Amino acid sequence: MVNRFIDNIRNKHELIFKVLLFVVAITLVVLLLPKEAKFKYEFQKNKPWVHEDLLAPFDFAINKTEDELASERMLIEENHLFYFNNKKRVKNKVIVEFQNWVNLNWKDSANVLEKKEVAKEGVNYFEIIYAIGVIEVIDELDGKGAAYAILLMDENNVGEEVALGDLYTIKSAYDFVVADLKNQEIANADFLLSGIENSIQQNIKYNKELSEKDLENEINQISEVKGGVYEKEKIISKGELVTEEKFAVLQSLKTEYESKLGNSSQSLWIVIGQVIFVLLLFYAIFIFLKNVSKNVYSNNLDIGFITIVVVGFVAITTLVLRFEEISVYVIPYCIIPLLIRTFFGNRLALFIYIISIFLISFIVPNSFEFILLESITGIITLYTVLNVNKRAELFYTSVIIFLVFSISYLGFSLLQEGNIETITWNTFGWFGIAAGFTLLTYPLIYLFEKVFGYISDVTLLELSDTNNALLRELNLKAPGTFQHSLQVSNLAEEGIREIGGNPLLVRTGALYHDIGKILAPAYFIENQSGVNPHDELGYEESAEIIINHVIKGIELAKKQNLPEQIIDFIRTHHGTTKTQYFLKMYQNENPDMEVPDLFQYPGPIPYSKETAVLMMADSVEAASRSLKTYDNDSITGLVENIINSQVDENQFINTNITFSDVTTIKKMFIKKLMNIYHVRIEYPK
């Protein structure tokens, strides 16, 4: 019984791992979700209420909108009284300084009476000025009229409202003295005026600390609510328009509803509800992979990558929402489909993206708006920019994301508000930042390639560059093999385009499939120029050298850190076929002896459409060089014989290639070879 249980676990360990992976992912997502109830009604401003008549489930207050609160704060700031202190000791200090100035600067020492008269007149002016007061000029009073009142505090901290026009500034006090002196015939008036100008000081000083503290208290006393609704009171009827006032009431009910349930014993049921929905969404991923993306389903590493992306963006959203001043739209969610499309294609990318948006909608405010904007932007971006192989295309992708976000948000806001003036324009800035963050797709692709062993089109483009060091070495040491590889890459690329597959992967694999020939180029006929070293060797030894180019190629590719997907083309391009030339020669000389395994390639056989097409293209291109005449019959016969032989030897049984695909490839190869070897007109001498 125990052994049978262990056997069952052993036989189903792949499925068990997948289940555990999804359980961990579900647990993490549920832990990240806020433990608050969700208001069960969706509503939009200026749209009809489509649900049944809504009665208040409990008493609640109606919250003021942010605009209303901001307007009240602005009104308080405009009408707020500034505190000033009356420094009465300043007058005595100013008078002493004035008298000292007169004594120091009076030049006519013989005329003492005039000096005393000037000093007396100056003191009289200071008595008049400081009976009113000289106010300190501050920036906060700029633009305030003469009627604007300040709160003047005496030494006992008793305040009195005083209009600005009832007080002097240093300038207005000086102007008063100038005007008064013009109306009187006072000797030494200029000297007196200079002394007053030099000595006058402000005695009504701004109390910044008290002013700001009082303003803060007034702002803090602003009520965040504006009335309330009683239990069982009707809030809105079915079909009634959600006006701005009704919208404020509904928003207040939603906030209070979610707060009450989130802080009550019902939070356990909330968690259970979250588990159910998250479980269903991850089960949808599981079913989709199992029935639609079977290649991904069979690879636990791929499933791990997908769950990391989904859970990662849920975690990022939770983190960003902790900062109230940052909008959730700053997060570049369009990276999700771009990343998954790079490795798994459009269909899976779109499905995972939609599931991710549904999951994240549990966290974000205004979930309907979020799902609508993100879904439209993601879908249009995914199918407008079909690949991001070049840097310019990624910048183009960012522009598309920004434009789609902006247009869809503008349309949605106009539908809701019915007024362009109420649109929150700084949201467009968040869209721009998110579009810019999309450029992180490139480094993320590189990171996941290294961590998960993936290969992207960007990497394939780099590897397929014939200026690559390894391909240049192949061209220098084995130029015939290099030309053969180029021809094979062209044939294979066109073949895979005809039946569906990854042309860039096939092209890159074809360029590297024969790199093992670098180590002994002279033993391969395409690199020979008259001398054939096989003439000095036995057939078994020659076959071993030929077959070893596969093994040596794998070793060289690993040494050069080529991706495993490219190395697979090296492994499989001969499958388990035989070195037919040396095998036939051996059989002719030894008709009665058993054929040794030495003449057979070790394999493995191709496992995908791409590797199968490469095997066909490689054999056909190599054999076509040996034709004596190039016409439709000879080329057709060559292609038919070689590919049929590979089919008969079961070289393609591990691939998903069909007989129809094989027929299509044959026709395409015949057409391409006819174009390559067409007869040219003979030019006159």
Residue 334, token pair as written in the block: 């369009």
On whether the CB atoms of residues 354 and 312 are closer than 8 A, the answer is: no
On whether the CB atoms of residues 495 and 669 are closer than 8 A, the answer is: yes
Report the greatest alpha carbon distance in the chain.
152
In degrees rounded to 5, what are phi and psi of residue 187? -70, 150
Per-residue pLDDT tens digits for 93-133:
999 999 899 888 887 765 777 888 888 888 999 998 999 99
Phi/psi class of residue 501: alpha, beta or left (left: φ > 0; alpha: ψ in -120 to 50)?
left
**Beta strand pairing call for 159-163 and 149-153:** antiparallel
Span(s) in the chain for CATH 1.10.3210: 457-676
Q: Which residues have C-beta within 8 Å of that of residue 465, sequence separation ≥ 6?
A: 471
Residue type, 21: L
Give, in degrees to the nearest 5, the angle at Cα 646 between 641 and 647.
100
Peptide bond into 602 cis (omega under 30): no
According to the model, what pLDDT value does residue 70 have? 84
In degrees rounded to 5, what are phi and psi of residue 267? -60, -30
Can you give the pTM of this predicted structure? 0.65
Distances (CA, A) of 330 to 35, 86, 334, 426: 24, 52, 11, 11
Residue 257, token pair as written in the block: 């509803």
In degrees rounded to 5, what are phi and psi of residue 96? -60, -45
Residue owning tokens 């037919």: 580
Question: Among 469, 471, 516, which Cα is nearest to 489's?
Answer: 471
CA 69 to CA 270: how far, in whole Å?
A: 32
Q: What 3-state DSSP class applies to 525?
A: helix
In degrees rounded to 5, what are phi and psi of residue 193? -65, -40
- Number of CB atoms found within 10 A of residue 669's CB: 28
Beta bridge partners of 618: none
Distances (CA, A) of 571 to 263, 510, 513, 574: 62, 12, 8, 8
Strand order in the sheet with 159-163: 159-163, 149-153, 83-86, 204-206
On whether the CB atoms of residues 84 and 204 are closer than 8 A, the answer is: yes
Length in residues, the chain: 685
Residue 654, token pair as written in the block: 């591990």
According to the model, what pLDDT value does residue 72 have? 87
Beta bridge partners of 134: 168
Query: Which residues of the chain fall below pLDDT 70?
Result: 1-13, 36-38, 109-110, 260-267, 386-392, 416-419, 421-422, 591-596, 678-685
- Domain 457-676 adopts which CATH fold? Hypothetical protein af1432 (1.10.3210)
According to the model, what pLDDT value does residue 288 have? 93
Residue 645, token pair as written in the block: 């032989």
Beta bridge partners of 168: 134
Residue owning tokens 């079961």: 650
On whether the CB atoms of residues 495 and 528 are closer than 8 A, the answer is: no
According to the model, what pLDDT value does residue 3 have? 58
CA end-to-end span of the chain? 91
CA 542 to CA 523: how far, in whole Å?
A: 8
Residue 276, token pair as written in the block: 């159910």
User: For 386-423, b where at least 16 C-beta lie within 10 A, e where not — what string?
Assistant: ebbbeeeebeebbebbbebbbebbeebbeebbeeeeeb
